[in-house]
Structures are given as structure tokens and as C-alpha cells.
Chains A and B, each alone.
Chain A
């Protein structure tokens, strides 16, 4: 077909489905608060009712609260379109990035809490250090001591595809902090660390899968996983996290590296 075919419908200037907004709506944000400087160890709930565009991101609504109602509200954010991984939070009981949730889909009322299993520091901000410690423990970098060729190392598309899914990880912690095993067990490295190990274990250029599988066969590793699929559901990048974990389990049990 020629590119202009079928443009009639979407070119209608009055079309508000693709372009434009359909009036403001009201939404109530119920937010779990915590601020040890002000109220000690007690956490509490605050509610803010605001008017927004239905197409706005939930992050925009949180900004509206912070900028016009309560400047003390603390949250992390940066890119605002689901790539930097700063604004993972629990939204109506499920982990998601606030910048990838559209207000229309959660109105008229939404409950927002910090992600679970990491120490809360202030409001929606948690201590990410234990999460990154788990990441670092799986040797998350290419290991190849065979010397570097003058040009690129060759890797055919099938080999490249083998680990494509796990290269998408943005380290937002939505998966790890949705995992009930992680909530109850400080030692478990958690789904995100395993995803990042997977990314190198199945990379044809890497030479140290054995050591990573050894690390993940430890009591803190993959066999803590009880396959609840929370991680896969939580991943804002659509990574099949549980499948990646299962592949690593299988490699530990059956493959010789």
C-alpha cells in the first residue's frame, strides 16, 4: 500500500482519540508517608484530591501534589517515560513505574506506597543499596580473558537473541521488591540480580558462566525462587523474569559449563 492510504479516519482534525484531551478529571491519591525527622518511626496515610488530565501520567499527578500541595512529599524520578527506572512504587498493590501508569486507568482513586522489602527512608524513597549489592554479587560484566580481536567479536543473530530479553533490565527493582521470598529473606539476591546474571551466562562472548552459576546455586541464589510470577508481572520492560530464573535453575542442574 502507499503510505497515505487509509489516512482518512485518523486525519480528522476533530479526532480526540489520538490527539488532544477529553476534559479534566478528579483523582484522589492516597499516599503512604514516612518522615522520621517529623514524625519518628510512625508511618501514616495522606490523601490529596486533585484535578488532572486523564492522559497524564501518575507521576504528573504526584508532581502536582508535590508542587502545589505538599512540598515535603519525597519520591525519586528522572526520565518520566519508563527508561531510567527511578520511580518504581507500589500502585494499588502492584509494583509499577509511576511514569508508565496513566491517570485514566487508576482514577478516581489510587493508593501509592513505597516498594516493599527495602528499608523506607522517606515517603516513597527506599534504600537501594541492598538491591545494588545483590546486583554486584553476580559479576554483572562481561568476562573474557581470551584477548581482544582487532575488530568486533563475532556473534551471529541467533546467539545475540539468546540473551536479548534480559538486556532490557533497567534496575528499577520492581521485580525484586514484588517477590514474597525477597520480602521475608534478606539473603536472597532476588530476581533482578538473576536477570543480570542471565544476561551474561547466555552471552556467547562471555567465559565465566560457571562462576555465576556457582554463585546462584548457593543458598542465597535461584533455588529460593518459588515461581510465583510476581516478578514477571511487575517488570515494566516486559522481561520474562520468571522464565529467566527457570533457565538459570535448569543450567545449574543439567548443563556442564
Chain B
């Protein structure tokens, strides 16, 4: 049986961006938050090191310096007006979180304390600056908890463990979504004037990833299948310091507090790659440096495919009080004692700079003209504003979710206040989802989903990772074709309706395959190197041809069409990126 609901605003996803939008919208219009997880399980909670804002609590700073760093860190693919707006609004966004109770670490006089972070500098690159507001190494946890607390206070309506599987449109405008209820296996149609996607990233397409199992690109993929383009998908960030083999994040705050990277010769190799800021260079540069060290035989471990993160020289109280969680990760998952031993690390798939194209009000926009789709919104990692350009700076994702979660939620509430309730496209709008799920469950046998997923993850990590070439990407494209073919015949053993997590894992695998298609197609087309997208066969940035965003569209025949659109420039003229 299908259940029908009617809301003014529906938010898909209950991480930082979704909850921040919900706080904004729920006071004004009838709002529902649909989340496949309980809100406090969202991946925002695993962010560690901090959230930047030029509060200037411990040293001189300015939002403009922050904007410059963001643009330079993003290798000039950042839309500069959006970056200026984000860094300007950052200050109030942090005070707002504090007023809602977020327990930031404090300076001796009681102000919010701030620490250093990669790529954040004083006066346009002079030296690292203390800009990251933090709560030990669980800043994301505290943001997620605080936003959820405010939702509890406001009695926000949640539909937990509901998976949004389709977007409904009528006359080119948003009409609602179709969702699957995990507990019962029933479908729900949410008719709504506006929908905001805040579903997070898709890092689970890579073998070594800091991402949760549930980060499978659901929102981008649902819209991609409905003709909405995905922007800048070739830009995927590899965080330099993941726990060896497992990929669990070890925060950049470790280096912000003074930790350093060492190769097999005990050399602090970042001195050679970024002489000014060294270990606090942006993530794309550090990950490439690690790749290079390993390639040249200076890796550590039995396979020589790791390097060391070293904090042994730091005061014990800094390690225990400011980095307690990452210290525990090393102890639990590697059996390494960071106070006396260096920790083996490797780059880990971490963050999608690309995603659903939006403007600074969270409206989903299509084409070179950036035409808004009425009623459709996105915010957070699943969206591409673009404030991160070709490489996001550490801490700017937590800032993105609170600034653009708020702006998106506010705009969607204003839109819903004046819009009429849209008609549903027909009286069985859930039919395509129902047919898709039934087709998956009605096979006597077939391909194993875990095999397909692990091959996707392994091959993407080998062929579309920190370093790419035309050859590796063409090979990956061919492999993806084969994986899609196998996915057509995937077998679901559980035919039940209650908590059929196997069925949903298969659906999520389908989402990952779609996002991987877009990523590889865009990476193949961009024959230059910029930010996190490094083409060994085209190692230089090519502003003459590629200072522009990519847009990938899924065509009716399954192929992908690429378009480009200009980068919105501003005060910062592209220059060579040195640190």
C-alpha cells in the first residue's frame, strides 16, 4: 500500500545541511525531514578538526583572507562571489551555533578558541593562521548534536529510516518525492511544494574511504536520472591522512597541532613540496606528495604503500585533550600507540567537491544559463555551489553546511509560503519505483551485489584516484559498462518487506554506479590538472581552455553528455598555486 503525505517543504537527509535547513524552514512552513538514518547517525558527526570563520579571537584575521584562501585552495575553480559570501556569513554562523549551545573549546578568557588548518593563511598566504573553531577533535559530532537538539526543541517532523528513491516533477517544477520505508517495505509519496536534497557524498565508490557505508550519492543520482545535471564531478578529494588500509579519517587538526608527515627515510618530505606551509598545504597537494613519495620508493610498511603521521614530539596533553578520538582510532584499529610510535597512513577518498548544481540560495540550477528548477533545492556535500572549486579546504565543509543549509532552508520556506501546491504527475507516481524494486526482488538467482561493489571500489581506487590518465579513465569507463551489465542481473536474496537492508544496499550500489559514470566521464574530458583532478598526461592547469565548470547529463540512451559553464570570477586573478 502506498501512503500519501502533503507538506510545504521536504528535506531529504538529516546531516548538518538538512538539519540546518529544517531549523530554518520548520518555523515557517509545514516541513518534513526524510532520512535513511536516524539523524544523529549522519556523517557530519564524524567530522573532526574544526569549522573556520575569521573571528580573529586569537590573532588578526579577516573574512576576505578566508575567501582568498578558499579560492586559491580550490585552484580558482571556486565561484568567487559564493566564497566571499560564505566567508562573510561564517562569523555569524559560528555565533549562532554557539548560542544554540555548541560546546566549542575556549581561550583562557572564555572566547571560542581557534587552531591552524591546511591552506588557511594570514594575509593571502604569508603564514598559517588560527581560524578553525573546534571542539576537541569531534567538531562535527558537536555540530550534528547541536542542530539535532534544536530540531528536538522545535518538534521537527522526522521520517527516519525512509529512503528517497525518486523525484516527482510536474510541468518542469518540483512536485514531491517517493520514499521507501525500511521498517515496512511500503512506499510513501510526499507531495510537496519544495524539496531540498542534503544527502551527503558518494565516497563509497572507492575502496579506501573515510566515508560511511551509507554515503552512496542517493540525492545526486536520483536527480541525475531525472535529467538534472551533475557539476564538477571529476573533482573528488583524497584526504592525505586516512588510517592505513581502512581509510578512517585522521584529522588535519593533527597537523594543525604540530604533527608532521615522514617518509621511509624519516624525512619531513612536505618541506620539498610546500616550503612555506609544509604539512599544512591543501589536501590535494599533500595527497599527491604522498603518492609521489610512495612511487619513488620512500613508502613504509610491507608493501611500501603508506607514509607516517608523527605526533611523538607533541606534548602529551595536546595529544590527549585536543586529539583524543584520532589517538584512539590509531590504538583501536592499528594497534599503534601514537605517543610513542608514528602512525601509518595513506590518502583516503573523502569529499565530493562536485554534485547537484545550485546557486547561493540553494536553488538547483540547470544549464549554462543557470535556470532554477522551481521548488528544487540542494545543500551540503551533495550540492555544488561552488565554494570548493577543484579542492576543498579543510573545515570549509562544516561551514558550507551551516551557511548554505540556512540559506537553502530560508529560500525554500519563502518559496513555499507563496507557491501553490503542485499537482502530482499522475495518480500512481510511485509506480516506477515499485517496478524497479519488484524487478530486483523477483529473480531466482544472479550476480552478487558485493562482488560488483568491491570491484567498483577497487578499480575506482586504482584508475580514477589521486592520479589519473586518459588510459586509466578509458579503462575505468569500460569496466563501468561491464559493472552496469552485471548490475542488470543482480540478485537479492531477501524477499521480505521488513528491514530489507539487502534490497536497499543494492539500490545504493545502483546510485554509486551512476555517480561513478559521471565522475569518470567528466575526468576524461578535462585534459588538464587542477586541484584534486590530476592528469599525469596533462600535468599543468590550462586556464585558457578549462577555467570552467563541467556539467554531466544522463541521456535517454544511457550515455552522458557534457557541457561547461563559466566560473564566476571576482577579485582574485588566477595565479600559480604555491604554498
Q: Which of B1-57 contact A (CB under 8 A)?
A: 37-38, 40-43, 45-46, 55
Contact B301 A78 (CB under 8 A): no
> B residues within 8 A CB of A15?
301-302
Residue in B213, B303, B342 whose CB lies within 8 Å of A10: B342
**A120 to B494 Cα, complex, angstroms:** 18
Taking A11-B300, A36-B498, A84-B212 as contacts, is the C-beta distance between A205 and B105 under 8 angstroms?
no
Q: Is the CB of B312 within 8 A of A142?
A: no
Are A78 and B499 CB-contacts (below 8 A) given A160-B105, A170-B141?
no
User: Does A191 interact with chain B (Cβ within 8 Å)?
Assistant: no
Give the docked Cα–Cα distance between A71 and B450 (Å): 10
Smallest CB-CB separation from B103: which chain A residue? A167
Task: Give the size range of A's interface with the partner.
Answer: 35 or more
The reply to whether B106 and A3 contact each other, CB–CB distance below 8 Å, is: no
Beta-carbon contact of A170 and B262 below 8 Å:
no
Interchain nearest-CB distance for A193 vs B (Å) = 12
Residues of B within 8 A of A159 (CB): 110
Segment among B149-157, B190-198, B231-239 that sits at the interface with chain A: B149-157
- Residues on B lying within 8 angstroms of A by beta carbon are 37-38, 40-43, 45-46, 55, 94-95, 98-101, 103-112, 135, 138, 141-142, 145, 149-150, 152-153, 183, 212-214, 244, 246, 248, 260, 262, 264, 266-268, 300-304, 306, 308, 310, 312-313, 325, 329, 332-336, 341-344, 448-450, 492-494, 496-502
Q: Determine the residue in chain A with the shortest Cβ distance to B133.
A: A152
Asked whether, in the complex, the Cβ of B300 is within 8 Å of the Cβ of A79, the reply is: no
Q: Are B95 and A78 in contact (CB-based, < 8 A)?
A: no
| Bound-state Cα–Cα, A207 to B160, Å | 31
**Which residues of B have CB within 8 Å of A20?**
301-303
Partner of B492, one of A71, A122, A168: A71
Whether A160 pairs with B103 at a CB distance below 8 angstroms is yes
Q: Is the CB of B103 within 8 A of A78?
A: no
Candidates A10, A140, A142, A157; contact of B100 at CB < 8 Å? A142
Apart from A7-B308, A18-B301, A140-B152, list 7 A-B contacts with CB within 8 A.
A3-B312, A19-B303, A66-B502, A71-B494, A80-B212, A81-B329, A84-B41
Are A171 and B329 in contact, CB atoms less than 8 angstroms apart?
Answer: no
Knowing A3-B262, A84-B41, the reply to whether A72 touches B494 (Cβ < 8 A) is yes
CB-based nearest B residue for A59: B213
Question: Could you tell me the distance between the alpha carbons of A80 and B301 in the complex, rounded to whole angstroms?
Answer: 24
Interface residues in A64-79 (C-beta closer than 8 Å to B): 66-68, 70-72, 74-79
- A253 beta carbon closer than 8 Å to chain B: no
A231 to B74, CA, bound (A): 46
CA–CA, A140 and B104, complex, Å: 17
5 contacts across the A-B interface (CB closer than 8 A): A71-B494, A72-B493, A72-B502, A78-B41, A86-B37
Distance in angstroms between the alpha carbons of A75 and B103 in the assembled complex: 32
B302's partner among A16, A136, A152, A168 (CB-CB below 8 A) is: A16
On whether the beta carbons of A85 and B40 are closer than 8 Å, the reply is yes
**Which residues in chain A, 121-139, are within 8 Å of chain B measured between CB atoms?**
121-123, 125, 128, 132, 136
A5 to B300, CA, bound (A): 16
Interface presence of A41 (CB below 8 A): no
Please state if A18 and B46 are interface contacts (CB–CB under 8 Å): no
Q: Is A83 among interface residues, defined by CB-CB distance under 8 A? A: yes
Q: Which of A36-75 contact B (CB under 8 A)?
A: 36-38, 55, 57, 63, 66-68, 70-72, 74-75
> Closest CB-CB distance, B79 to chain A, in whole Å?
29
Contact check, B112 vs A152: say whether CB atoms are below 8 A apart. Answer: yes
Contact of A18 among B55, B303, B334 (CB under 8 A): B334
Q: Answer whether A18 and B341 are a contact pair too, CB < 8 Å, given A13-B301, A121-B183, A141-B149.
A: yes
* B38 close to A140 (CB less than 8 A): no
Instruction: Give per-residue flags for A213-237: 1 if the beta carbon is below 8 A from chain B beta carbons, else 0.
Output: 0000000000000000000000000
B142, A68: Cβ atoms closer than 8 Å: no
A122 interface neighbour in B112, B138, B449, B499, Cβ under 8 Å: B499
Smallest Cβ distance from B126 to chain A, in angstroms? 24
Partner of A13 from B42, B106, B264 at Cβ < 8 Å: B264
Interface pair A7/B342, CB less than 8 Å apart: yes
Residue of B nearest to A204 (CB): B110
Distance, CA A122 to CA B183, complexed state (A)? 9
Q: Tell me, rounded to whole Å, the shortest Cβ–Cβ distance linking A133 to chain B.
A: 11
Using Cβ atoms and an 8 Å threshold, which residues of chain B touch A80? 212-213, 248
- The answer to whether B494 and A200 touch across the interface, beta carbons within 8 angstroms, is no
Q: Which residues on the A side are within 8 Å of B145 (C-beta)? A: 167, 169
Smallest beta-carbon distance A11→chain B, Å = 6
- A68 partner residues in chain B, CB cutoff 8 A: 448, 450
A103–B491 Cα distance when bound, in Å, is 29
Whether A86 and B41, one on each chain, are in contact in the complex, defined by CB atoms closer than 8 angstroms, is yes
Most chain A beta carbons < 10 A, residue from B99, B246, B497: B99
Question: Which residue, B42, B304, B498, has most C-beta atoms of chain A within 10 A?
Answer: B498
Which chain A residues numbered 155 to 201 have a C-beta less than 8 Å away from chain B?
155-157, 159-160, 163-164, 167-171, 200
